[in-house]
Amino acid sequence: MQVNHAKRELHNVFIRKLYRESLFEEMLQEPEVAAKRRKQTRETLHALQKAFRTLDELPLEAETVEKGFGAASDTTGLPKSHGMPSSSFYNTSRG
């Protein structure tokens, strides 16, 4: 019984010493690096949201996309790279 009482009292003393109100402000201060990174992340998020809204406003019809890719695609259905030589290594019609 006395051991439990002493244990509780010591616990209370340690808590009072550990959590001094004068240290609360210091313990709650955010590191400058974290604040800077949070600000940069918020700015990036806003830029990405703006880009998404801009892209979302563009008229995009499936027929237009199909025509655009169909005109410059090979037998794989992938668009050809303009200005790049076609390699026989990637040719699908091997004999």
| pLDDT on residue 37 | 97
DSSP structure string for the chain: -HHHHHHHHHHHHHHHHHS-GGGHHHHHPPPHHHHHHHHHHHHHHHHHHHHHHHHHHS---HHHHHHHHHHTB-TTSPBPPTTSPPPGGG-S---
Tokens of 92: 């699908």
| pLDDT on residue 18 | 77
| pLDDT on residue 87 | 52
The model's pTM is 0.41
* Residue range 40-82, pLDDT digits in tens: 999 999 999 999 999 998 887 666 666 655 545 556 666 665 5
